[in-house]
Each structure stands twice: as structure tokens, then as C-alpha cells.
Amino acid sequence: MRLGIAGLGTVGVGVLDLLEAHAGMIAGRCGQAVVVTAVCARSRAAKRGHHDLSKYTWFDDPVALAQSEDIDVFVELIGGEEGPAKDAVEAALKAGKHVVTANKALLAHHGSALAELAETAGVALNFEAAVAGGIPIVKTMRESLSGNQVIRVFGILNGTCNYILTKMEAEGRDFDDVLAEAQELGYAEADPAFDIGGFDAAHKVACLTSLAFGTRVDYEAIYIEGIEHITLADIRNAGDLGYKIKLLGVAVETGDGIEQRVHPTLVPKNSPIADVDGVFNAVAVKADFADDLMLEGRGAGGHPTASSIVSDICDIARGIVLPPFGVPASQLKPYKRARMRAHEGGYYVSLELFDRPGEVAAVATIFTECAISIESIVQRGPATSGTARDTAPFILITHDTLESAMRQALQRIEDEGHAASRPRMIRIERL
């Protein structure tokens, strides 16, 4: 089986490494040899380890590679939701070529349409590497759980954010300090907004939602909140209360529709996902018959991601062609979005209240009038004095309540002048 690889960065070179290291084993397991015959990249002269690219046919244009008669499978590792990646994948599918991609952005924005193209052509569109790198979550959901109804899927889907939050907790360092270190180590880009803003995780959630609930992909329906505003005080407060803060991507089916959300979350210290630290990812699924399961591993990197890409290639070599999202594209249901403010759960609230009699009682009254039950409220540190307006920091934990009620209460606290700064809340997942 002949491969054409478009994109020879870290992951593309990782694929070449794996295919070279295990050529005989792969041929034995797949029933045929799997060989790279053509490649495409921005620069032919760039160093790519020990690999000699002269033995492959070189293409300057990924669309031309995708349409080449000399390949059976087009491996797209260019990246990006539009432009060359989209054009080349569409060209490959229309030409009757199988496609393997690690492009989460492309799938999040165009997954349903591309699945329809693949189905029409009778070819595979495989994307194990697009979600959580080396973790085989796509195959697990599409195949291993095909007899189950999925209730919820959630996880740590971005290693950059998990690294930053882990370092803040373990070393007592501020967000900006740890972010600068992550950039130096290559875990974060020079412009880190895509990662720390939650957008990378949201692309992965869009794919998981379609796999879990058989709906059309709808990235625009995801509520997205990043970790930019998480402080060291939040990390410490959460720890004292028995929680860790993680950036979670969550998809859950409710009576009102499907929730898709990415946001910082307090998770209990004794929960399995709380132990997933550093650059590692984890995805947890709750299904009706299989119950709870969680997969943890490296969510990025050349070799772990290459492992998932080659797994998809091997399926095609074995003659396995499945609907990309578990059911035929024509049967994917329209996405029905649940109202985010109908979300129900517990909340952590950080308040900088004015240090004067009656403020805590006033806040408690507001929460009562908004039908919110307070689990605990404590002063976290001494009041500040000697300034124009003395203040005191308070942390409040609620029992499960509606997000709409929480937003109403916090807006009242701000509007009625009880706090010196805007109240901040972080959702709690009790898992």
C-alpha cells in the first residue's frame, strides 16, 4: 500500500521513523507492505533527521500529491482549517484516495462535509491522531463502545495548559512565569493564545461530541474559556479545599440538548483525572453498559502522534473502512445545543469584598434570593487596610446550582457595590 505524506514536520518525520523501524512487523500484521512513495513539504532542503527524501517522489503542491495515481492513501499533516490542508483532503477524497489526518481544526470546522465526501467515494477518513495524540480514544469510541450509549465524555485535552497548571501548583509560581518557561521548552508557541485560550481543546471536543452522540460536528456551539485568568491564589485555594484546577473539555447529552464546553474546572483531588499532570492528556468516557473508563497518555509529540497515524493506516491496509464518526454521514443527527446557562453544577467563587460590617451577610442574602445553596464561605487572608477602600478576600463554594442563577447572583454582587473587583467563578465537576 502506497502512502503520500503532506507535511514533514515533527509528526511527519515521526511517521517515517515508525514505518522504517517496524516495516516488517507492519507488513506481517497488515498482510501487505506499507511504503511511502511520495512526499510534500514547504522546504525540500530542511533537515529531517537521517531520512533521505530522494527515494520519494517530491511534490511542491499538496493537491497534486493528493490526486497522484502513485498513492493509495493521502496522509495530511499540514494543519489548519482552511487553505492547502482542506483543498488537498477534499481533492484526495474526490479522487478516491483514503485519507489519514491529524488535523483537528479541519475536522472541527468541516468534519461533517468531509465525512460525506468520504462516504460518497467509499474511502476512509481516519483521524485518530487529531484527538489526544497517542491516546487511542477515537478507535475506542468508534469501535470498542459501538454497543454502548455514551452519556458523557470529558478530558484534559491540551498538554500546554496542563503543564502550566501543574507547575503553578507544584512550585507555587505565577501563571506568566510558568508560561514563559513553557515557551522556552517548546510546550507553548510564541503566541500561546490558541492553547491557553482553550481553542485547541475545543477542536478536539467537537470531534469527540460527534463520535459520542452521532451528531454533526458543530464547533461554533462550544462554550470556550481559557486559563489566562487563573491565579496562584486560585490554585492554592482549590488545594486547601480538596481540589485541583484542570482545563477540561466536556461533552454531555442532557434533556435540553448537548453541552459542549471547555473551561477551567475544580476536580476532586481523589479523582483519577486529578492525577494527570504535566504535558499528559486523558480522556474519560461514561457509557451505559461499559460504565466509566479513562485513557491517559501523551497528547502530542512526533512519535506518540505517529503511533496513532500508523494505526489508522494499518486499518486501511487490512481493508477496514468505517464511517469517520461511527455512523454513516447521512445519518448524523442535527446538533441540538443545550443552553449553557442551564448547566448545573457546583461553583468556586473568588470575592474581594469591602471590609465593612454586613457585606458577608449581604452576599449570603443575594445567593439565598437566587436559590443558591452555599456549601462554605471563608476569608482567605487578612483584610487590606490603609488604602482608600479596605477589602477582604473571600472564597465561596456552592452546592449544585444552575449557571444562570450563579451569573445572576454575581452580577447583583457587582451592581450593588459589595465587591471591589468583578467576582470570578470556576465550575466544579464532582466526577
Q: Which amino acid is at 235?
A: I
For residue 208, what pLDDT is reported?
Answer: 97
pLDDT tier at 389, thresholds 50, 70, 90: low
Residue 380 to residues 104, 119, 238, 393: CA-CA distances in angstroms?
41, 57, 11, 6
Q: Whose CA is closest to 431, among 339, 254, 294, 279? A: 294
Give mean pLDDT, residues 387-407: 85
Q: Which amino acid is at 133?
A: G
Average pLDDT, the chain: 93
For residue 343, what pLDDT is reported?
Answer: 64
Cell numbers of 147, please? 454497543
pLDDT tier at 381, thresholds 50, 70, 90: low
Q: Please tell me the distance from the alpha carbon of residue 21 to that of residue 167, in angstroms, as a whole number.
A: 35
For residue 289, what pLDDT is reported?
Answer: 96
Whether 15 and 56 have beta carbons less than 8 Å apart is answered as: no
pLDDT in tens, 39-92: 999 888 788 888 888 899 999 999 999 999 999 999 999 999 999 999 999 999
Q: Please tell me the distance from the alpha carbon of residue 139 to that of residue 192, in angstroms, as a whole number.
A: 30
CB-CB neighbours of 409 under 10 Å: 25
Whether 223 and 287 have beta carbons less than 8 Å apart is answered as: no
382 pLDDT above the threshold of 80 = no
Q: Which amino acid is at 360?
A: V
383 pLDDT above the threshold of 70 = no
DSSP codes of every residue in 273-342: GGG--TTEEEEEEEETTTEEEEEEEE-SSHHHHHHHHHHHHHHHHTT----TTSS-GGGPBPP-BPPGGG
pLDDT tier at 164, thresholds 50, 70, 90: very high
Choose the weakest-confidence range: 33-42, 70-79, 419-428: 419-428
pLDDT in tens, 268-280: 999 999 999 999 9
pLDDT in tens, 299-348: 888 999 999 999 999 999 999 999 999 999 999 999 998 876 556 789 99
For residue 19, what pLDDT is reported?
Answer: 97
- 297 CB-side CA count, 13 A: 17
Q: Which amino acid is at 87?
A: D
pLDDT in tens, 117-151: 999 999 999 999 999 999 999 999 999 999 999 99
Burial of 191 (0-12, 13-18, 19+ CB in 10 A): exposed
Q: Please tell me the distance from the alpha carbon of residue 341 to that of residue 223, in angstroms, as a whole number.
A: 10
Domains plus CATH for the chain? 2-130 (3.40.50.720), 137-298 (3.30.360.10), 341-428 (3.30.70.260)
Note if 204 is an active site residue.
Answer: yes
The answer for 94, left when phi > 0, alpha when psi is -120 to 50, beta otherwise, is alpha
Residue 292 to residues 18, 150, 152, 426: CA-CA distances in angstroms?
32, 10, 10, 25
Q: Please tell me the distance from the alpha carbon of residue 99 to that of residue 110, in angstroms, as a whole number.
A: 14
385 pLDDT above the threshold of 60 = no
| Total-model pTM | 0.92
Q: Which amino acid is at 112?
A: S
Residue 130 is given by DSSP the state G
Q: Which of 86, 204, 244, 286 is catalytic?
A: 204
